[in-house]
Amino acid sequence: MEKRISEIKREFEEAGTEKLLELFAVYANDPRAGVVGLIRQYQKKEEALKKEMARIEGMKEYERQYEHLGWICGIDEAGRGPLAGPVAAGAVILPKDCKILYLNDSKKISEKKREELFEVIMEKAVAVGVGIVSPSRIDEINILQATYEAMRLAIGQLKVAPQILLNDAVVIPDVAIPQVPIIKGDAKSISIAAASIIAKVTRDHLMQEYDRIMPEYGFASHKGYGSAAHVEAIRKYGPSPIHRRTFLKNIL
């Protein structure tokens, strides 16, 4: 008896990569439009998956280059540019056989995908550290030094000691671990990309909390960056306790 298309669809939905190839062969000669459409749909998904796997393998170049040293830690920050809120840094050590797909510069990923990847990274990483430096500290020592401080704090939170750091474009002062600065590293290294996502999502969650306390500024939508609505709110209500006073000179 011929299987119903709904049953075949369920088979495709539940199949892993290897099983899909078998299903393509089994139903290759089924003339029904619904089955032909299913095969086309899943072949496209299979091709997209292969491309993504190849892209991720390409982002392991630096990890392969330094794996002989031991644990590799990616470092990145989020929130250097906003007018309000802290600067955050992430430090992530991924397993050597890491197979997390869709890692990339956090700015190139949708908010929904960042949230999903955040959970996956937290579950699968060997170690994760986060450093947060407050707006008042940023005003005190400047944003560059505050960023370095956040990165040092993130490294200090790691439960496994790394032997080398892959950093997004910077060399962090006062850190004894060897460092490799990589320009646009969050798009070139899976470790830095993972750190980028951890830093960004952590900071976004903080800004959402601030929005609940001070809804008039709209922190949940712009995350403290200088949007027109944010600048207007600052002029209307004045600076909040989380605004960086040294960033507001031209506005006030």
Mean pLDDT across the chain, nearest whole number?
Answer: 94
Q: In this structure, are 127 and 228 located in the same domain?
A: yes
Would you say residue 1 has pLDDT above 90? no
Q: What local confidence, expressed as pLDDT, does residue 48 receive?
A: 86
Q: In this structure, are 127 and 241 located in the same domain?
A: yes
Q: In this structure, are 87 and 175 located in the same domain?
A: yes
Q: In this structure, are 135 and 235 located in the same domain?
A: yes
Instruction: Write down which residue in 58, 74, 89 finishes a domain.
Output: 58
91 assigned to some structural domain: yes
252 assigned to some structural domain: no
Q: In this structure, are 86 and 205 located in the same domain?
A: yes
Confidence (pTM): 0.87
Q: What local confidence, expressed as pLDDT, does residue 13 receive?
A: 84
Instruction: Report d(CA 181, CA 54) in Å as an integer.
Output: 24
Q: In this structure, are 128 and 229 located in the same domain?
A: yes
Would you say residue 207 has pLDDT above 90? yes
Q: In this structure, are 172 and 52 located in the same domain?
A: no
Instruction: Write down which residue in 34, 58, 82 finishes a domain.
Output: 58
25-62: burial string, b at 16+ Cβ within 10 Å, e else = eebeebeeeebeebbeebeeeeeeeeeeeeebeebbeb
112 assigned to some structural domain: yes
CB within 8 A of 127, min separation 6: which ones? Answer: 71, 73, 91, 92, 93, 158, 159, 160
Would you say residue 144 has pLDDT above 70? yes
Q: In this structure, are 108 and 126 located in the same domain?
A: yes
CATH number of the domain to which 134 belongs: 3.30.420.10
Structural domain for 51, as ranges: 5-58
170 assigned to some structural domain: yes
Q: In this structure, are 138 and 239 located in the same domain?
A: yes
Across the range 187-210, mean pLDDT stands at 97
Across the range 173-201, mean pLDDT stands at 97
251 assigned to some structural domain: no
Across the range 129-152, mean pLDDT stands at 98
Instruction: Report d(CA 153, CA 148) in Å as an integer.
Output: 9
Q: What local confidence, expressed as pLDDT, does residue 18 receive?
A: 66
**81-93 confidence digits (pLDDT tens):** 999 999 999 999 9
Instruction: Report d(CA 219, CA 206) in Å as an integer.
Output: 9
Which residue spans within 5-140 are E strands per DSSP? 72-78, 87-93, 127-133
Q: In this structure, are 71 and 43 located in the same domain?
A: no
CB within 8 A of 136, min separation 6: which ones? Answer: none
**5-28 confidence digits (pLDDT tens):** 888 888 888 887 667 778 888 888
Instruction: Write down which residue in 33, 58, 83 finishes a domain.
Output: 58
For the chain, give the percent of residues with pLDDT over 90: 77
How many domains does the structure of the chain reveal? 2
**46-76 confidence digits (pLDDT tens):** 888 889 999 999 999 999 999 999 999 999 9
Cα-to-chain-centroid distance, residue 4: 42
Q: In this structure, are 19 and 37 located in the same domain?
A: yes
pLDDT band for 184, please (50, 70, 90 cuts). Answer: very high
Q: In this structure, are 99 and 209 located in the same domain?
A: yes
